[in-house]
Amino acid sequence: MPRNVTEKLIAAHLVEGRMTPGAEIGLRIDQTLTQDATGTMVMLELEAMGLDRVRTELSAQYVDHNLLQQDNKNPDDHRFLHSACQRFGVWFSPPGNGVSHPLHQARFGKPGKTLLGSDSHTPAAGALGMLAMGAGGIEVAMAMAGKPYHLPMPLVRGVRITGALPDWVSAKDVILEMLRRHGVSGAVGQVIEYHGPGLAGLSAMDRHVIANMGTELGATSTVFPADDEVRRYLAAHGREEDYLELLADDGASYDEEEELDLSTLEPLIAMPSSPGNVKRVAEVAGEPIYQVYVGSSANPGYRDFAVVAEMVKSRTPEPSVSFDVNPTSRELLRNLMRDGYLDPLLAAGARLHQAGCNGCIGMGQAPATNAISLRTVPRNFPGRSGTREDKVCLVSPETAAASALTGRITDPRTLNMDYPRIVEPTRFDRHDWLLQPPPSPDDGAKVELVKGPNIASIPEFDALPESLELPVLLAVGDDVSTDEIMPAGARVLPFRSNIPRISNFVFGMVDESYPKRATEVRERSGHALVAGANYGQGSSREHAALAPRYLGLRAIIAVSFARIHWQNLVSFGILPLVFDDPTDRAPLVRGVRIELKNLYNALRGRSRLELITTASDRPIPVHHDLSTRQVEILLAGGLINHTRSRIS
């Protein structure tokens, strides 16, 4: 039977289950990616498991998020991560070397492989014909220990690409068009696979942009074929021997299909404060701006910077605009400098920052209050920039540069200039010496983990009780992101390896009183939350589950959950329940009490699941979407308890 690329990748790595949509499957993981905002917990979890050395083909740790060294906390964690990489056999990329996703694709990406990362934008590597997925840190730790990664078998949505991009339209506009069509939850439970004749005009880094932001659609992953363009890309990075052709079979079909004609696209913009709030740039042109920010894991390529350099060459941006250039690697900087693209940026007044995630995750470059910031980053959730009352918009490099020149949101097609056509190098100068391979197993076994005073052990949690009686401490609406549950930024992220400290910031963007109120009821009973649709969208950070669990969160009842956060809740023993009827959510407001009885039998399917609540004179029917394996993890109080009990 003919197979598409996604089906081939899954079939080649399937170790548990059957490829029936919705059924739980287990996949062998070839590679893992961790970054410092999530990797510290992964390394602590490996230590808790007693692992001697990773069992993957390759694992890599990047320090790209928490680069500000305003006190000891971040540099202490960088030392800890370096020692953990030596101890467990992991490649290490130090601070300032660059952003994980483009670095990993350039150095380690291989067609036909699986990649699991503790970062939600890990699917960017799908640009090379990989099955790359984001997951919670503890799931990545299990994969590093050689265990399968479990997930519901996704549907495969085929997007047939035709036509060619017009001038002033680029890959960012392609994924913004997908978000305009489908919104931030339009691809939940799906892998998006792009195919068709139009792919010939999209470079591997164009595909990286599209695959990176497929996460914002809620997709499990995004997959492209490994074709001649992938061969060209690998050759340019000195790795043509790693090429493997991987194409869909003739006659392959998809669970869902749509078509996207590139020639019909125009410059698009995601307005505050959601990647799904997409409009035509022409509709909002003329709005004054404060900041233009170029570079991130979503637009990390050579052409993304070169096209901006050409646009501002011998021109003066509007002086009132903060023109921020965020290079994605040292190697990229060297190649831009070699080819004459760095000087025009500096001459135009660009503020050049160190290679890393920086402002994308709220680590510096925060915009002014209520001032528009145009960014080539992947998401614009409220306050993510570091400014609580921000107005971040997502745009292409072309729209960003055009707006920097005018000081207003500007459709680049209206500029009086020729479209700069960038030819990517046939060979990139490599800058590998900072990327450190792991020592031999014998040498690694001698390494002691270096822990600073801010690193705390992972809290231990009890098993799920057979019945729960809980107050509803918070009720929230639809599309609540992990940035709103567990904020990022320079004030919060330095505590990522200290759960008691970071828990003080939980729901800081929603209700600053939540941590104090949760602490007051934690020992007596714990508490519950009520939520709307797509709860937990966005980042894969497990702190958004782990810190609330530390504060006593035992259950969340929602209309629906985002995939990664749903699994993170299970991994830390928080019960995720779904309303049978979404309208039953309305009376469950803050202060209402709920009761769940006979949970063990109910979760195992032997009795009905229903809420008894002070807000209704009838039980409210709910259900769960957990596999048998997940139920047992939940009953044990989380994945660490479950794994420990199986070992003992």
Give the pLDDT confidence score for residue 648 in this predicted structure. 53
Beta carbons of 149 and 135 less than 8 angstroms apart: yes
Structure confidence by residue, pLDDT tens digits, 166-198: 999 999 999 999 999 999 999 999 999 999 999
Structure confidence by residue, pLDDT tens digits, 93-147: 999 999 999 999 999 999 999 999 999 999 999 999 999 999 999 999 999 999 9
In 41-185, at which residue ranges do the beta strands (DSSP E only) sit? 58-62, 91-93, 114-117, 131-134, 149-152, 155-162
Q: Which residue has better confidence, 552 or 385?
A: 552
- Residue 393 scores a pLDDT above 70: yes
Q: Which residue has better confidence, 363 or 519?
A: 519
161 vs 471: CA distance, rounded Å: 50
Would you identify the CATH topology of the domain 5-264? Aconitase; domain 3 (3.30.499)
- Residue 293 scores a pLDDT above 80: yes
Tokens of 627: 């596999």
Positive or negative, the Cα torsion across 3, 6, 9, 12? negative
**What are the strands of the beta sheet with 268-270, ordered from one edge?**
278-280, 268-270, 391-394, 372-375, 291-294, 322-325, 351-352
Tokens of 224: 């492209």
| Domain range 468-647, its CATH number among 2.130.10.10, 3.40.50.12280, 3.20.19.10, 3.40.250.10 | 3.20.19.10
**In which residue ranges of the chain is CATH 3.30.499.10 found?**
5-264, 268-410
Structure confidence by residue, pLDDT tens digits, 468-517: 999 999 999 999 999 999 988 888 888 988 999 999 999 988 999 999 99
Q: Which of 628, 544, 620 is nearest to 578 (CA)?
A: 620
Give the pLDDT confidence score for residue 457 in this predicted structure. 83
**In which residue ranges of the chain is CATH 3.20.19.10 found?**
468-647
What is the average pLDDT across 556-576? 95
140 vs 32: CA distance, rounded Å: 7
40 vs 60: CA distance, rounded Å: 13
Q: Which residues contact 248 (CB under 8 A, 6 or more apart)?
A: 2, 3, 4, 5, 8, 193, 195, 225
319 vs 311: CA distance, rounded Å: 16
17 vs 13: CA distance, rounded Å: 11
Structure confidence by residue, pLDDT tens digits, 316-350: 899 999 999 999 999 999 999 999 999 999 999 99
Give the pLDDT confidence score for residue 647 in this predicted structure. 60
Q: How confident is the model at residue 92 (pLDDT cuts 50, 70, 90)?
A: very high
Structure confidence by residue, pLDDT tens digits, 454-472: 988 888 899 999 999 999 9
Structure confidence by residue, pLDDT tens digits, 576-598: 999 999 999 999 999 999 999 99
Angle between the 628-636 and 563-571 helix axes, to the nearest 10 degrees? 50
Task: For domain 268-410, give the CATH superfamily.
Answer: Aconitase, domain 3 (3.30.499.10)
Q: Which residues contact 20 (CB under 8 A, 6 or more apart)?
A: 153
What is the average pLDDT across 62-84? 92
pTM equals 0.93
Q: Which of 220, 639, 261, 225 is nearest to 463 (CA)?
A: 639
